[in-house]
Structure 1
Amino acid sequence: MNTADLGLPVDVPSTALFTDQYELTMLRAALKSGTADRRSVFEVFTRRLPDGRRYGVVAGIGRVLDAVENFRFDGGVLEFLREQAIVDAPTLDWLAGYRFSGDIWGYPEGEVYFPGSPILRVEGSFGECVLLETVILSILNHDSAIAAAASRMSAAAGGRPLIEMGARRTHELAAVAAARAAYVGGFASTSDLAAGFRYGIPTVGTSAHAFTLLHDTERDAFTAQVASLGSGTTLLVDTYDVAEAVRTAVEIAGTGLGAVRIDSGDLLLVAHRVRQQLDELGATGTRIVVTSDLDEYAIASLAAAPVDAYGVGTQLVTGSGHPTCSMVYKLVARAESAEPKAPLVPVAKKSLGGKTSVGGRKWAARRTDADGVAEAEVVGTGPVPAELAGRQLLVELLKGGEVVAREPLEAARDRHEAARAGLPMSAMQLSRGEAVIPTEYA
């Protein structure tokens, strides 16, 4: 596996150190006590949705599979652990041969989820499963938060395309993951070339205000851009006077000008004025793209405006106020002993303050009404009711350490569109609310 596929710097040999130290110290103690080989089941879930959100979006599954495949303790990593005295010699020997050999089931990427949904289930020995906690949560919490924000923005856009352009507002590697998650959530393209290169997401981009300011006049800047990129390009028209810029843009590019971009001011008012001016100049097919600190609420407020596309940056890559999904990775069952066929025993955290969990290896299904609209997320540990057997949500992702469910990113994007369409209409409301369907335990 090429580390570039993971969005990692080329000099990072593996994902093994994308972990918290206590996972290694737990492993060390478990090896010493003889419990590291006990068959265990861990599950990823969230106890609640981010405040005010009505559904969540599963994103990052493909990146999780890549990370698990690349979770290796090579010589440099082992030497670091030895020098820092993080683990002892027997643990180092165990880590040197680490390869995850268990099974992973989960919600497929793009699916929606709710409180208590077993989004990912990791099964294997305690030792091999516990090490994956941090890297799995790091990916799922980040990517699912971005995808959820993207989904809300996509719903608010009402079919108008959205451009992800937040690379300069977050960490350079997080930007690549954010572009991927945004694409799953409904965005059409990205400005980030690394995301285009690694994941095949369509990329777009023309010019910024600096290009206009570089030239002696705005006319010179537009002339240079059209000469280079053609009349189908997008010209940025709010560096100086918008009305004058639109007039100049059409004079230079002709009525076949591809688009104009507005990046400041009262976007609703300016968009109407620009549309009227373009039409009067005969550029009826020229599109209007708006940017400038948009979020789902700003996009919704422009629903009646003659806007053809939106560019979104900061609010998207920060989850529009919710940069994490608060997912957790909890042990829910473990074998009575290290014997391969020892029965599983449900276990669960019972601490105060609402940080409890439900023990047992779980299945999940979505019950629908007569019209096929979701009405409940059903989670259980016993037999699956016959009426829900065909509606189970978890799919096998990795079996015996081998990935069995790798898929194109387009599949996740299409799945999310279908999953969102199957929710009650109130799921699309931007007002604060509870989960749009309840979670029931069977």
Structure 2
Amino acid sequence: MSRFGSLEPDLIQNGGCTDIYFLRSQAVLEKAGVNPHVVLEVSVASLPSGFGILAGLDSVMELFSGKPVTVSALPEGSIFFEGEPVLMIEGYYQDIARFETALLGFLCHASGIATAAAHIVSLAAGRPVYSFGSRRQHPAIAPMIERAAWIGGVAGVSNTAAPDGIPLAGTMPHAYVLSFDTPESAWAAYAEYADPDVPRIMLCDTLSDEKTEALAAARIGCSAVRLDTPRSRRGDIRSIIEEVRWELDTHGYQDVHIFLSGGITATDVAALRDIVDSFGVGGAIANAPVIDFSADIVEKNTQPIAKRGRRSGRKQVWRLQNGSRRILPFTEAPPAGAAPLLIEVIRAGRPVVTVSTEESRRRAAEEMQEMRRMGEMRIKGEM
């Protein structure tokens, strides 16, 4: 155990972070001389959103690099659905067992965040969404959370520990405003002294009515006003935002945007996207429910086998020419023109592909767009 309640990476890499029953079972297997060659399949039985975005593959590849296994997976950023295998590991069971806990943890957590981000970004319908969940997450995993949110499509993140290349976003806390004698003096100092490339977005709900502070900030000069009104004080938040928008427009500040934050949920984004220009979303992304993946043996010593409730045998997921998908046994010939979605990423312990954060983000955006298109086609009766 290192400082701040986090583990040393080498402990995870060596299988020291695992469920105890794997170690106890492995000890018995060793004494019994049992070590079958297996294929483990990772999939999920239920998805509340109806879809998932795969993330965390970068960590999985690091975990299994140098170990005597072969791994196939959907490319990171891919959309997946219930019952579809997203990853398969082939090797001797005792070389895999103790790593199942970390494997699932990487995929479950990161995919849950990426999926929530993609869902909320989709609901925002073009309005930028920013990941503001730093204070809702353990600091040790901030890079993973911000990376997953970025793959899911957010326009920027707030945590300074985010991986390189991800744009940082943030305005000011209420404590900053309260450090000055008046909100006006806080905004004036920010306008004068903040780095030139920092947007002049002023927090406008600290001491008085949102409308009053928004107009005062606009007079000083700002690109946007941020409303972070606590949920306990909001009342009808839509009415508040409409009033702020009305007063800004009436007084000639039509170009001043409204940025909304403070406990924003997916429901809020869907309900307010017509009157809000951008959103800062915290816990709804950073604390998103995990994707409940499981890892199950589907082949032992080249023979199909699986526990109850699982379909035996290794499989492939095929994308058909019309955009739909089909799961087939690995040995079955695919439909004409179909493309395989599970690809080999590690061969006998050696990575054979590189996982790129930007490529994963691009893929997620493209597949979300395609999923929306397919949904529209079904509604129109074209499929």
Q: Which TM-score band applies after superposition, normalised by the shorter structure?
A: 0.7 to 0.9
The structure 1 residue matched to 2:291, chosen from 294, 302, 325, is 325
Q: Once the 2 structures are TM-superposed, how far is the Cα of residue 205 of structure 1 from its aligned partner?
A: 1.4
Map Cα deviations across residues 31-63 of structure 1 (whole Å, 9 max, x no partner).
222222x3211110112223xx22121111112
Residues 260 and 280, structure 2, Cα contact 8 Å, conserved in 1: yes
Compute the TM-score of the two structures, normalised by the length of structure 1. 0.77
Aligned to 2:58: 62
Q: 1:377 to 1:144 in 2, by over 3 A?
A: farther
Q: In structure 2, how many angstroms separate the alpha carbons of the residues matched to 1:317 and 1:334?
A: 38
Q: Once the 2 structures are TM-superposed, how far is the Cα of residue 387 of structure 1 from its aligned partner?
A: 1.5
1:206 aligns with 2:171: yes
Residues 117 and 379, structure 1, Cα contact 8 Å, conserved in 2: no
Map Cα deviations across residues 199-256 of structure 1 (whole Å, 9 max, x no partner).
5321111211111112111111112211221584210011122222223212323xxx
- Amino acid in the other structure paired with 2:10: P
- Amino acid in the other structure paired with 1:135: A
Q: Once the 2 structures are TM-superposed, how far is the Cα of residue 100 of structure 1 from its aligned partner?
A: 0.9
Q: 1:232 to 1:194 in 2, by over 3 A?
A: closer
The structure 2 residue matched to 1:284, chosen from 239, 250, 254, is 254
Aligned to 1:102: 69
Q: Once the 2 structures are TM-superposed, how far is the Cα of residue 290 of structure 1 from its aligned partner?
A: 0.5
Residues 267 and 290, structure 1, Cα contact 8 Å, conserved in 2: no
Aligned to 1:315: 284
Identity of aligned residues (%): 29
Aligned to 2:381: none
Q: Once the 2 structures are TM-superposed, how far is the Cα of residue 393 of structure 1 from its aligned partner?
A: 0.7
Map Cα deviations across residues 340-370 of structure 1 (whole Å, 9 max, x no partner).
xxxx0111102xxxxx11111111113353x
Aligned to 2:193: 228
Residues 19 and 135, structure 1, Cα contact 8 Å, conserved in 2: yes
Aligned to 2:363: 415
The structure 1 residue matched to 2:330, chosen from 358, 381, 392, is 381
The structure 2 residue matched to 1:347, chosen from 284, 305, 312, is 305
Residues 54 and 427, structure 1, Cα contact 8 Å, conserved in 2: no
Q: Once the 2 structures are TM-superposed, how far is the Cα of residue 427 of structure 1 from its aligned partner?
A: 5.6
SS in 2 for 1:13: helix
Aligned to 1:432: none
Q: 1:57 to 1:379 in 2, by over 3 A?
A: farther
Q: 1:49 to 1:377 in 2, by over 3 A?
A: farther
Aligned to 2:27: 28
Q: In structure 2, how many angstroms separate the alpha carbons of the residues matched to 1:145 and 1:232?
A: 30
SS in 1 for 2:220: helix
Map Cα deviations across residues 381-401 of structure 1 (whole Å, 9 max, x no partner).
33232425x421111111121
- Mapping of residues 136-151 of structure 1, within 5 Å: 136-151=103-118
Aligned to 2:39: 41
Aligned to 2:157: 190
Aligned to 2:215: 247
Q: Give aligned pairs, total.
A: 363
SS in 2 for 1:413: helix
Q: Once the 2 structures are TM-superposed, how far is the Cα of residue 165 of structure 1 from its aligned partner?
A: 0.8
Residues 61 and 140, structure 1, Cα contact 8 Å, conserved in 2: yes
Instruction: Name segments (4+ residues, structure 1) moved above 6 Å.
Output: none
SS in 1 for 2:119: helix
Q: In structure 1, how many angstroms separate the alpha carbons of the residues matched to 2:265 and 2:142?
A: 17
SS in 2 for 1:140: helix
Aligned to 2:227: 262
- Amino acid in the other structure paired with 1:19: T
Q: In structure 2, how many angstroms separate the alpha carbons of the residues matched to 1:49 and 1:20?
A: 24
Residues 73 and 343, structure 2, Cα contact 8 Å, conserved in 1: yes
1:367 aligns with 2:366: no
Q: In structure 2, how many angstroms separate the alpha carbons of the residues matched to 1:325 and 1:54?
A: 11
- Mapping of residues 390-405 of structure 1, within 5 Å: 390-405=338-353
Gaps of 5+ in 1: 70-98, 336-343, 351-355, 429-442
Residues 293 and 314, structure 1, Cα contact 8 Å, conserved in 2: yes
SS in 2 for 1:387: coil
Residues 167 and 175, structure 1, Cα contact 8 Å, conserved in 2: yes
Gaps of 5+ in 2: 377-383
Q: Once the 2 structures are TM-superposed, how far is the Cα of residue 426 of structure 1 from its aligned partner?
A: 7.9
Map Cα deviations across residues 264-297 of structure 1 (whole Å, 9 max, x no partner).
2344223333333333444333222101211221
SS in 1 for 2:336: helix
Aligned to 1:162: 129
Q: Relative to structure 2, which stretch is displaced further, 172-181 or 219-228?
A: 172-181
Q: Once the 2 structures are TM-superposed, how far is the Cα of residue 161 of structure 1 from its aligned partner?
A: 1.0
Q: In structure 2, how many angstroms separate the alpha carbons of the residues matched to 1:308 and 1:67?
A: 41
- Amino acid in the other structure paired with 1:315: A
SS in 2 for 1:422: helix
